[in-house]
Chains A and B, each alone.
Chain A
Amino acid sequence: MKSVCFYFQIHQPYRVKNYRVFDIGNDAEYFNDRGEGNLNNRRIVQKVAQKSYIPATKLLIELLKRHPEMRVSFSFSGVALEQLEQYVPEVIGLFKELVNTGRVEILGETYYHSLAFFYSPSEFERQVGKHRETIRRLFGVWPRVFRNTELSYRNDLGEWADKNGYAGVLAEGWDPILGWRSPNYVYKPKGSQNARLLLKNYRLSDDVAFRFSSRSWSEWPLTAEKFAQWLGVAEGDVVNLFMDYETFGEHQWEDTGIFHFLEKLPEELAKNPGIDFKTPSEVIASYDARDEVDMPHAVTWADTDRDLTAWTGNPMQRAALEAIYELEEKILLANDLKLLEDWRRLQTSDHFYYMCTKWFNDGDVHAYFSPYESPYDAHIAYMNALQDLKLRLDKRAG
């Protein structure tokens, strides 16, 4: 038997508005852009919900009814759930319906979709804890498998997950790490006892997530039939298809046929008796680890480098990260919920991604995902907001 394991990511940051130097000391609302542009969080969340979350989730609910063997998993950032609850509560209802089927697993992550693991272990744990509580409150389940922001992974994350009782962690199946090994098996993270590692099959995942509508791709158009055949001939125990949920309807628009593809895929897979669906926990329970994987340096699912440089690659990004995390002690001492919340929202990885300047090779991806005119404008708005946060903090402390 071979399994197909789907995991969809849902995340929406609180984008910082064009917060200018004149606002410092005068305006403590950093995320409340109400314009027509892409900094208006409410507008974006509503738009993405209409184009992607709502139709895709309704379809999945229907598919789960039609195909009793079907399984999928999700990871939600806390800030995405929070905004959805506020702006499009209907979506939360649909997600609950999904989870109530008992065949949808919810993964753990940091509430703020942050890089805290790499900058502050204590803050990381607090954010994971807050996320767990939120998932419990909304869906009545505890996450058993962990995925860190942007699928970032390093040996010590595996050790942490192991120590904290997680069954496993998700990571990128990156060739320079795997060598001759295939991502299509369960692995053991270096330094852990019980936790397991599930690795993204990025070729097959990206066929759907990135290449689906690309007419210059030799395999275009990708049909469910063809894709099911590819899954059928893939070697190994499990094909991990990890992607952003916005693939359905937002990155790939409805008119590309992406929903039709999703609808037909379970049918096509059902024709092959050697394939089933499993959630990450089920995969870990069903297959033995084939080998130990060693990732001493952070690996992510981003661009062609698969490292953290899309968030930490230039001096602006490093300065901004340093500036936000160095406030930790003072913020915690201040004991002010609004300050704490703003500080944490400013940790969301997207803020640093918008400052990315490696535009020349894989830049198009970054340009597409940035609501700012340039990475430099993103940095200026962020640092201005941070300066205001510091003023508020000083006032509070002083």
Chain B
Amino acid sequence: MKTRVLMFGWEFPPHNSGGLGVACQGLTRAMAARGIDIIFVMPKKLDVNASWARFVFADTELETRVVNSTLKPYVTGNGYARALHDIGIYGRDLLSEVRRYALLGGQIAKEEQFDVIYAHDWLSFGAGVEAKRVSGKPLIVHVHATEFDRCGGPLGVNKDVYDIEKEGMEAADRVIAVSQYTKDIITRHYGIPDWKIKVIHNGIDEATQPHGAASRLRLSSLKASGYSIVLFLGRITLQKGPDYFLRAAKSVLMRDPKVVFLLSGSGDMERQMMDLAAQLGISDRVLFTGFLSGSDRHEVYAAADLFIMPSVSEPFGITALEAMKTGAPVLVSKQSGVAEAVKHALKVDFWDVDEMTNKILGVVRHKGLRQSLSENGRREVANLTWEDAAGKVENVLQETLLSGVQ
């Protein structure tokens, strides 16, 4: 018998706004390839006033149920309120929408046949828990990020979000963490027992790798005039450490003016970062590209002499794998999951701007270092596949199903 999974996930690229959609895509494809049946449930605002619709997306061959909801990954309470113009059937605030989505998840669980429930991150944990309640089937929650990462530390943790996360992990039969780094947060801050949590690193493969050959951004002309390109790519939020990136940029530019720093992404700190660049007097060496996907994203990775992920707290960091796969040397913060998953990357504490400067200049100045990081990194990520991750997820599914048979 094929295992049938009711999965609450998030929209795939190019409609995603971060690594969560990439992870959902990579993992579900690879699970499906292993012969696991997935009913993929995701929230999406539908034009029709229906609660949900059934799709089969040609590119995924996944049986997909789209639930009419305004939930999006990375949304905050304020962000939700701002985006919601017309209440209609939706919740009046983020938490009520999460609750509404949970109830819809429960209804779907009543209609479908499945063996196990699987939920990705807190916005869908409620739906997972509700589905478990109505069906009695085991629940696996996959933690891609916690409130502690999003807030860059224990200060500013939203109690409601924390409670939903904790409740989801407690209700779950198994918790999958994207890194040991995240597992440590889950045991320390959520009190979930060690045995219940399995670390499964994210992967990367051709299907989820951005590609294309556009030259819309014309970075080649910059490089031709002798500039090195140092890239930040991610949401411009506190969690991602863009301010450390700019402070390192300032320090580098004091010693080597032939470097351009690219900030790719959008987020609530974008304006503030533009101001900071101006304040530091480096606006002419810092380019803000906005959010990039597809071929544009490929182009910045390919042009980068160094990709930096200076995150304050990063559960994993798929962008580092994307950069490595493209052949860009990478520098990641030690406060990240990817730092434990790869050897062929430079690593630094996110707050250590001096050491970041030392490493950036090392890469910019020394071709041998760039080549070694690039060659070895590319080779290394070839072994970090979603196929591998899906195999480990399948083991967790089997264990969960076996332990359910009393």
Contacts and interface: CB of A to CB of B under 8 A. Distances in A.
Given A21-B361, A22-B354, A384-B362, A314 B376 contact: yes
B343 interface: yes
Contact of B368 (A318, A373, A374, A377): A318
B358 A380 contact: yes
A21 B354 CA distance: 9
B398 interface: no
Interface pairs A-B: 10 shortest CB-CB: A319-B368, A315-B371, A380-B362, A315-B368, A316-B368, A316-B372, A20-B358, A314-B372, A21-B361, A21-B358
B209 to A, nearest CB: 22
A347 B362 CA distance: 20
A152 interface: no
Contacts of A21: 255, 357-358, 361-362
A383 B366 contact: yes
Interface in B349-367: 354-355, 357-359, 361-362, 365-367
B347 interface: yes
Nearest to A317: B368
A355 B362 CA distance: 14
Nearest to B371: A315
A229 B344 CA distance: 45
A132 interface: no
B214 interface: no
Contacts of A300: none
B12 to A, nearest CB: 33
Nearest to A319: B368
Contacts of A380: 358-359, 362, 366, 369
A357 interface: yes
B375 interface: yes
A181 to B, nearest CB: 36
Interface in B198-224: none
Contacts of A387: 365
A239 B80 CA distance: 78
Interface of B: 255, 343-344, 346-347, 354-355, 357-359, 361-362, 365-369, 371-373, 375-376
A359 interface: yes
A155 B343 CA distance: 37
A384 B369 CA distance: 12
Interface in A1-46: 20-22
A320 B323 CA distance: 26
B344 A383 contact: no
Interface string A227-259: 000000000000000000000000000000000
A315 B372 CA distance: 6
B369 A316 contact: yes
Interface string A372-387: 0111110110011001
Contacts of A383: 362, 365-366, 369
Given A316-B366, A374-B346, A357 B358 contact: no
Contacts of A355: 372
Interface string A97-136: 0000000000000000000000000000000000000000
A384 B363 CA distance: 11
Contacts of B346: 374, 376-377
A359 B343 contact: yes
Contacts of B371: 314-316
Q: Which of B255, B346, B357, B362 has the most CB of A within 10 A?
A: B362
Contact of A379 (B355, B366, B376): B366
A12 B358 CA distance: 27
Contact of A22 (B344, B358, B365, B366): B358
Contacts of B357: 21-22
A19 to B, nearest CB: 9
Given A376-B369, A380-B366, 7 more contacts: A314-B376, A316-B366, A318-B368, A357-B344, A374-B347, A377-B346, A380-B362
Contacts of B361: 21
A133 to B, nearest CB: 35
Contacts of B358: 20-22, 380, 384
B192 to A, nearest CB: 31
A71 B66 CA distance: 82
A373 B369 contact: no
A343 to B, nearest CB: 19
B347 A379 contact: no
Nearest to A321: B368
Contacts of B362: 21, 376, 379-380, 383-384
Interface in A307-332: 314-320
A373 B372 contact: no
A186 B105 CA distance: 80
A387 B357 CA distance: 16
B211 to A, nearest CB: 25
